[in-house]
Amino acid sequence: MTSIPISDKTLGVNFTDANEATILVWAPEAESMDLILHHQQQAVPLTRIDYGYWSLETPLLQPGDRYLFRINGKNEFPDPASLSQPDGVHGASEALRLTDFEWDDQAWTNPKLDDYIFYEIHTGTFTNEGTFEALEQKLDYLHELGITAIELMPLAQFPGTRNWGYDGVFPYAVQHSYGGAHGLQRLVNACHQRQIAVVLDVVYNHLGPEGNYLGQFGPYINPKYYTPWGGAINFDDAWSDGVRQFVIENVLMWFRDFHIDALRLDAVHALKDFGPVHILQDIRRCTDELMAQTGQRHYLIAELDLNDNKYIAPLEKGGYGLDAQWIDEFHHALRVTAGGERTGYYTDFEGISHLAKAYTDAFVFSGQFSNHRKRFFGTRVDDNPGQQFIVFSQNHDQIGNRMLGERSSQLMSFEMQKTMAAAVILSPFLPFLFMGEEWSEPHPFLYFADHSDPELTQAVRQGRKKEFAAFHAIGEAPDPFSLESYALSKPQWELLTQTPHQQMFQYYKKLIALRKTQPALRHLNRRQLSVKVYAEAETLILHRWHEEQHMICILNFSDQPQPVTFPELENLSWQKILDSSDTQWGGSGQGEHLPMTASGTMIPSQSFQLYTNGHV
């Protein structure tokens, strides 16, 4: 492929120091290309150059001006690399100069991945206003909680104002209703001032259906491949070099021009690329070049459903070089262990024995037969450190893809929620929270969208109904296109001052503080842990250590108090430092009367206890 520019964005509209617009459009099969100055209704022709690109330098287009591109003297479309769509996906593009924003985060250093504690946010529902500006007002709260990295669900311009973000059709344009490009820059700047990293969820495996004009410019979609959400992006067929540059420049823009610290790459298993160099390898290489130039650190994180270690293996070992990946299997095993239903993909999971395997092996399926997939599945990741794996008890998918969008707070007892939180936050992996779970938010998080095409709207409704058939769901799903579904998905911030939500918040705050301060919990050496399972008692002991400090995490998922023993550790003296059943966390207080002995203890039902051999 052609060399990718690292230092500057070249696609779309950019501006020189002399305020002259430089324009580059990829349309390899077009016969002519004109810039349409929307405010003047003036057409300015572009010049064809190598590899299917069209270029123009002109002082006629200025920052803030609206414009379109006319192809073959006929139809006019927004810019594929538009930075702003003030009038939505069907309107004219707005020329922006990203360098106009004045950053003051020069003292910011992106922390080591080991120190990331993720908090997933949907910008539109996180606050009543649904904007970056309103989100910024919550940063002090997140800092108090102990969050070190917020993860924003996709921001690429989508139809309407209500959408999860995975229907984006302008990958370079930040959703205008949220606050647009400069609003995002201000938010990132404010996060860095509070020592919070920003992770952005990006979608490179497909494009949304409404307002998708990229196909008018070139073969962005490969008709040979499909994803569950539509045609696959063309990474390996005719003219794919232009598509690859489009995606790689987008990655670099987020890091370089928006100071984003990490990207969460949506469903990388749906990136169809059978060429000699996978698109993820090129993204890794170019990200490394950018980091070498700027001295800044950026991470690439995969959502992955393949249990294939090549995605997180380094380039020099033939891998794709991604820094970390989500582990849905940890969630599935934890959910079944906590009493969740075993339907759909949950049928593969046996509960506490699989949770124990997730702690020790990261992947639950590492080569054994999967009944759900009807094949042997997975590889081992024995040599990968804990910071390469991200775990959670809930996220937008696992909540919103339920028919009624129930959070754990609607499915599990208050005590079980605390136990699940400990299972995640004190794991040897990177913990990930979904907005509101830290105060046991009872509102659901539903799937919602705002398409204007009636046929598309009906197709989405039918698709949702078909999807739930595998889970044997009864009844009708809430209408994803109603304002009620959107409004109901907003967390209720006023609950933070009420019982028992305040106790849950304080409990999460304590768990996070312990993870940050205790060496045995903070160091993610997967070789310095052991797991003991009492299968019939539905109880698990997670033993982690670093140097002289040992930590014992006891998790009782059963409905009865359970005895636990660990004679192999009798030579150590133990101090209890956290008990989820304590009254200060809204519990019954049962654990206060169950002391630890040299050989073990009794742990209350649906509870968690943490012991250490040293002083805290």
Cα torsion through 377, 380, 381, 383, rounded to 10: -170
Q: Let me know: does 355 contact 540? Beta carbons within 8 Å.
A: yes
Q: 475: burial class by Cβ within 10 Å (0-12, 13-18, 19+)?
A: exposed
Q: Let me know: does 610 contact 422? Beta carbons within 8 Å.
A: yes
**Pick from 388, 379, 468, 25: which is nearest to 218 by CA?**
25
**The one-letter amino acid at 267:** A
549 is in an annotated binding site: no
Q: Let me know: does 259 contact 301? Beta carbons within 8 Å.
A: no
Residue 530: other Cβ atoms inside 10 A: 16
Q: Residue ranges of the alpha helices (H) in 2-122?
A: none
Report the alpha-carbon distance of residue 319 to residue 307 in Å, rounded. 13
Report the alpha-carbon distance of residue 375 to residue 380 in Å, rounded. 16
Q: Let me know: does 60 contact 43? Beta carbons within 8 Å.
A: no
97 is in an annotated binding site: no
268 is in an annotated binding site: yes
Q: Which long-range contacts (CB under 8 A, 24 or more apart) does 286-290 make?
A: 286/4, 286/6, 286/248, 286/251, 286/252, 287/251, 287/252, 287/255, 289/6, 290/6, 290/252, 290/255, 290/256
443 is in an annotated binding site: no
Report the alpha-carbon distance of residue 510 to residue 113 in Å, rounded. 21
400 is in an annotated binding site: yes
Chain length of the chain: 616
Q: Let me know: does 156 contact 171? Beta carbons within 8 Å.
A: yes
Give the angle 129-133-137 at the CA atoms, nearest 5°: 90
301 is in an annotated binding site: no
Going through 234-284 in order, the beta strands assigned E by DSSP cover 262-265
397 is in an annotated binding site: yes
17 is in an annotated binding site: no
Q: Let me know: does 534 contact 468? Beta carbons within 8 Å.
A: no
398 is in an annotated binding site: yes
267 is in an annotated binding site: yes
266 is catalytic: yes
Q: Any idea what DSSP says for residue 406?
A: -
Tokens of 127: 């606050």
Report the alpha-carbon distance of residue 106 to residue 205 in Å, rounded. 33
552 is in an annotated binding site: no
331 is in an annotated binding site: yes
39 is in an annotated binding site: no
Tokens of 354: 């699989």
260 is in an annotated binding site: no
Catalytic residue among 65, 79, 167, 266: 266
Helix (H, G, I), strand (E, B) or coil at 334: helix
488 is in an annotated binding site: no
Q: Let me know: does 304 contact 268? Beta carbons within 8 Å.
A: yes
Scored b (16 or more CB within 10 A) or e, 167-185 reads bbbbbbbbbbbbbbbbbbb
Residue 41: other Cβ atoms inside 10 A: 7
Distances (CA, A) of 496 to 150, 196, 281, 436, 578: 19, 22, 44, 9, 22
Tokens of 614: 């040293």
Tokens of 466: 């078909």
Catalytic residue among 136, 303, 323, 579: 303
HSE-up of residue 402 (Cα within 13 Å, Cβ side): 18
**Residues placed in the known binding site for substrate:** 264-269, 328-332, 396-401
**Residues placed in the known binding site:** 264-269, 328-332, 396-401
| Residues labelled catalytic | 266, 303
